[in-house]
Amino acid sequence: MALPEEFLDRLRASNDIESVISPYVNLRRRGRTMVGLCPFHGEKTPSFVVYNDTQSFYCFGCGIGGDMITFVKNIENISYMEAVKLLASKAGLPLPEDGYDDRAAAERKELLSANREAALFFHKSLNSPIGAAALKYIRGRGLKDETIVKYGLGFAPDSWDSLYKHLKSLGFSDYILYKAALISKNSRGGYFDFFRNRLIFPIIDLRGNVVAFGGRDLGDRGPKYLNSNETPVYKKSQTLFALNVAKNTKKDYLILTEGYMDTIAVHQAGFEEAIATCGTSLTEEQANVMAKYAKEVILSYDSDEAGQKATARATPILKKAGLEVRVLRITGAKDPDEYIKKFGAIRFKNLIEESLTAADHQFSGMKQKYNINTEEGRINYLNESVKFISRIPSKLEREVYIAKIANETGVAKATITETVERMIKREDRKEEKARWNSEKSSYRFRQDKVSPEKAGNLKEVVCEEKIITALFQNQGHIGKAKKNLSAEDFVSDFHKRVYNKMLSLFENGTEISLTQFSEEFSGAEIARLSQYLADNDDMRYTPEDADRYIEALKSGKQKNAEDIKKMSSEEYMEYMKKLIKSKTDRG
């Protein structure tokens, strides 16, 4: 059953979008709007805009947009109804008495319940005779009993179906257990435990829910670490192990380690700001999550070659998210766990305080790699250094490292500066060309997933976009528009649905807002509507404009797709530059 329009109106009126977004994004005023760094993708120049007039948001960098429900749903990675409940609770609004058939939320609740029971089963198994060997192993690794309890460590018995039988006895269905990735299915259709004979690390989200598990092999029958498959409650690319603990330290930095055991060992030593990825390489989504809780990330990967490669790969991802990056120089041990055991917590604290900037760490590695006392070594060092410096965004930081390299090699600073600037210009040209080639390809050949009809009906669909926007801005004109325009006049099925919804809301006397669309339209569709409003925020259409676009739709008075196909590359690029207007430039 759909939520009543009256309830959605009250929910929207009780949750100003700026107040909903500001705890997650540092917003600053720009005219009538608020701008900030997008929390959904890494950026250094704000392209995330909040519109108080329409109670909407839109990011001109990644294209995500919508209302306050859409924002909460995406930022918290929860279902539509969970976002509604959260906002209603915040505003003190009771949900409609006739209820809401939210099957996704009900299923999510059952998945989390199954995970919780599985975690209890694993922990109980660890502390039973069957888990004696596993308990001996982790105590041998230096973990205290209180640490084992705090992080809920467990043991998956060396059995095909002990967890499966236990959870079935509690009433969970095969469907839920399989969807939770707690069991696997064989070729004959039978089920068996996903984790067997493994030390278990529960993965807990920011609300304290067990969403997945990591398992370390205690035998020799599989990979060293096995991690839960993705489920409706667990996205590996967005989840960070122990962030639920680290976020409470109130430190302005996080320590990123290579795995679960390292993280727990560092926590036990008193550094609860440590986190780890969940069996995957660092992703942009994870970096964006970190940026919500810290200004700086200290990389504490293993000191071996693989760890150094991971450091080199992680650095630009973290910087793209706007984070400062430092690197621990672990010597005399292969990882933080071993270092703390050998040298103690005080020495590890010193390591943190003495950590190098990512650039200093990189230059240190290059200097060790080449002998700059020889001509060949000096040339190789200069070539690699110049490439690295040219990728540093800050001109001031580039100047510092140019001076450093000039001093080390005896090459004139002006020569190095000229080489760096030439390389930057060359890369900028490459990026510009690639960007516009991609834009051309996207516009001409890729199907618009929201309005796939646009590829062959550009003139009509562009008119439809303007009509939708004009009617959003002039809702009192919808009654007159209805006399001249029916949903069947639209080419785009998406626009037909939008127009029908607008007519329905208008006839019921309900204010038209994105919140009224967010339940039955997809995230991509809501983002598209938000884009229409954002692109035209500084362009107020009149009722007469709406009438003209309606007439144009019916008579075909627009540049059509055939005209675009005939354009030269230069004409097309100029056309696209005008079509794809930058909101930040206009601000």
CA 536, 542, 546, 549 torsion: positive or negative?
negative
Query: Can you give the residue ranges of every domain in the chain?
Result: 5-91, 104-234, 240-362, 370-443, 452-586
Pairing relation of β-strands 154-156 and 65-66? unpaired
Would 5-91 and 104-234 be classified into the same CATH topology? no
CA distances from 347 to 83, 156, 338, 546 (A): 45, 35, 12, 70
User: What pLDDT does 442 receive?
Assistant: 47
Return the CATH number of the domain spanning residue range 452-586. Answer: 1.10.860
Return the CATH number of the domain spanning residue range 5-91. Answer: 3.90.580.10
**Class in CATH terms, 104-234:** alpha beta
C-alpha 584/C-alpha 587 separation (Å) is 5
Contact 472, 495 (CB under 8 A): no
C-alpha 25/C-alpha 12 separation (Å) is 19
Intervals of the chain under pLDDT 50:
439, 442-445, 557-561, 564, 569, 572, 576-577, 579-587
C-alpha 433/C-alpha 439 separation (Å) is 10
pTM of the model: 0.67
Phi, psi of 392 (to 5 degrees): -80, 120
C-alpha 16/C-alpha 2 separation (Å) is 23
User: What pLDDT does 38 receive?
Assistant: 92
| Fold of the domain spanning 240-362 | Dna Topoisomerase Vi A Subunit; Chain: A, domain 2 (3.40.1360)
User: What pLDDT does 392 receive?
Assistant: 79
